[in-house]
Chain A
Amino acid sequence: MIVVTLPMHLRDLARVTGPVTLDVPEPVTRQAILDALEAAYPMLRGTIRDASTRERRAFIRFFACGEDLSHEPADSALPVEVTAGKEPFRIIGAMAGG
């Protein structure tokens, strides 16, 4: 199972209080995780990636294992710690203030 953490506003929207676990088919990529996340929590559609282009929204970041994976291709392989469910795939609301 893949562990995904969400920012506070998206936890509220999804009505969860902590990390969510997802059964994601192989190969486990960012796109596969987001597809599984949106299938389990349809209210999150359009909030992480654009509903029509499916591109990452500008102020969303994806972190895992201490790395910023936001600019990696959506179909890239993720770190083995994430695919093994040992480390979370972190969805972050980026610093966007003043």
Chain B
Amino acid sequence: MSEVRVLVGTRKGAFILRSDEQRKDWTVDGPHFPGWEIYHITGTPADPNRLYVSQSGGWFGQVIQRSDDAGKTWEAVSNDFSYDGVPGTHQWYDGTQHPWEFKRVWHLEPSPADPDSVYAGVEDAALFHSADGGRSWRELSGLRDVQGDQWQPGAGGMCLHTIVISPDDPKRIFVAISAAGAFRTDDGGATWMPINKGLRSNMELPDADADVGHCVHSIALHPSRPGTLYMQKHWDVMRTDNAGDLWHEVSGNLPSDFGFPIAVHAHEPETIYVVPITSDSHHFPPEGKLRVYRSRSGGNSWEALTNGLPQDNCYVNVLRNAFAVDTLPSCGVYFGTTGGQVYASADSGDSWAPIVRDLPPVLSVEVQVLP
């Protein structure tokens, strides 16, 4: 019988939730690293017992933890995220240029093939790679050559929060940066291009169709369709079928097209999920009803999934890294909220139940299925 592990990062520690393939009865293990902000905890497909954790805090800065036994023991590895060469400057709030300054790691993306190979997306926005399991990090600084001096932090910080490695070509990597946009490399990170054509930011940018500056909140793809990506932007849900060369809007009948996460069903490449929230300042669901929206047509036509989710007086948010799917035959869907609930659905979103209700605010959710 398979084991399902849900890896949860919160404002005050990490939790590992375990169940069998029925996904009904869960154990809660944690908090690991109590008191620390866990922006991301994730496993490596090549070795499911290898976990990586981004652990940070205002007092003591950034720590990267690694486990080789699924969280029984941990090793603090390198936290030296030194920018390549002279860091340079980016746009600041007052119109001046401001030096790049490392703040924290938002996202860790292990290679599907090599447990020692892992990428880190950081704030101030940059991409780092480790080839030795986190013991050293090297910046892929070509990314910041793409008009980096014009990037400007948004309200959530200038963070590189999403990393997607193309399933058919490990040298093709997509990243997304708040208030800068989406970018792609086809050569393993040496050179990058903006992939923001078709995005429109009418209210946020003086040039709504600018090459950079769009506030991308998250992107996702299905392994069988490496050229099709879905995006939750600040406003608008978008889709591309040519690896980002051109995007088009698929917000359709959503009650709001503002939100943070987006995910693709494990077995249905045209089935996607978003969690609409009201607006850029109202970071809670419309009408106080927590609804996941599912499209089975790759966008435009959406249905509300509400069975088991609170439909009265619910004012939580679901952050960009806090939504995940598993790979079991009846695809499991999971998300965590800023109110500390982690919800699970074992039937592709048709029905939901909380795994745990009272964690600290949830920053990230990942799922592993073990044989």
Q: Which A residues lie at the B interface, using CB under 8 A?
A: 7, 9-10, 13, 43, 45-48, 50-52, 57-60, 93-94, 96
Which residue of A7, A57, A94 is within 8 Å of B61 (Cβ)?
A57
Interface pair B60/A47, CB less than 8 Å apart: yes
Which residue of B35, B62, B81, B82 is within 8 Å of A9 (Cβ)?
B35
Interface pair B59/A60, CB less than 8 Å apart: yes
With a cutoff of 8 Å between Cβ atoms, the chain A residues found around residue B57 in the complex are 9
Q: Counting CB contacts under 8 A, is B156 at the interface? A: no
15 new A-B contacts at CB < 8 Å, known A7-B59, A47-B60: A9-B35, A10-B60, A13-B60, A45-B79, A46-B61, A46-B79, A47-B61, A48-B60, A51-B79, A57-B61, A59-B59, A60-B60, A93-B60, A94-B59, A96-B59
> Which interface residue of B60, B62, B79 has the most chain A CB atoms within 10 A?
B60
Complex CA–CA separation, A47 to B57 (angstroms): 9
User: How many residues of chain B are within 8 Å of chain A by beta carbon?
Assistant: 15
Chain A proximity mask over B72-96: 1 for CB below 8 Å, otherwise 0: 0000100111100000000000000
- B interface, over-half SS: loop
Minimal beta-carbon separation of B87 from chain A (angstroms): 9
With a cutoff of 8 Å between Cβ atoms, the chain A residues found around residue B36 in the complex are 9
Minimal beta-carbon separation of B78 from chain A (angstroms): 8
Pairs A–B under 8 Å by Cβ, sample size 24: A7-B59, A9-B35, A9-B36, A9-B57, A9-B59, A9-B60, A13-B63, A43-B63, A45-B79, A45-B80, A46-B62, A47-B60, A47-B63, A48-B60, A50-B61, A51-B79, A51-B80, A51-B82, A57-B59, A59-B58, A60-B59, A60-B60, A93-B59, A94-B59
Minimal beta-carbon separation of B368 from chain A (angstroms): 25
Which chain A residue has the least Cβ–Cβ distance from B75? A43
Minimal beta-carbon separation of B84 from chain A (angstroms): 12
With a cutoff of 8 Å between Cβ atoms, the chain B residues found around residue A58 in the complex are 58
Minimal beta-carbon separation of B14 from chain A (angstroms): 14
Minimal beta-carbon separation of B282 from chain A (angstroms): 24
Which chain B residue has the least Cβ–Cβ distance from A43? B76
With a cutoff of 8 Å between Cβ atoms, the chain A residues found around residue B80 in the complex are 45-46, 51-52
- A interface, over-half SS: loop
Minimal beta-carbon separation of B60 from chain A (angstroms): 4
With a cutoff of 8 Å between Cβ atoms, the chain A residues found around residue B58 in the complex are 58-59, 96
> Which interface residue of B57, B59, B79 has the most chain A CB atoms within 10 A?
B59
Of residues 278 through 299 on chain B, the ones whose CB sits less than 8 Å from some CB of chain A are none
Q: Which 4 A-B pairs have the closest CB atoms?
A: A43-B76, A47-B60, A93-B59, A46-B79
With a cutoff of 8 Å between Cβ atoms, the chain A residues found around residue B61 in the complex are 46-47, 50, 57
With a cutoff of 8 Å between Cβ atoms, the chain A residues found around residue B62 in the complex are 46
Interface pair B59/A13, CB less than 8 Å apart: no
With a cutoff of 8 Å between Cβ atoms, the chain B residues found around residue A94 in the complex are 59
Which chain B residue has the least Cβ–Cβ distance from A57? B61
With a cutoff of 8 Å between Cβ atoms, the chain B residues found around residue A13 in the complex are 60, 63, 76
With a cutoff of 8 Å between Cβ atoms, the chain A residues found around residue B76 in the complex are 13, 43
Complex CA–CA separation, A21 to B24 (angstroms): 50
Complex CA–CA separation, A7 to B35 (angstroms): 13
Minimal beta-carbon separation of B88 from chain A (angstroms): 14
Minimal beta-carbon separation of B139 from chain A (angstroms): 12
With a cutoff of 8 Å between Cβ atoms, the chain A residues found around residue B81 in the complex are 51
Complex CA–CA separation, A58 to B60 (angstroms): 9
Minimal beta-carbon separation of A90 from chain B (angstroms): 14
Which chain B residue has the least Cβ–Cβ distance from A94? B59
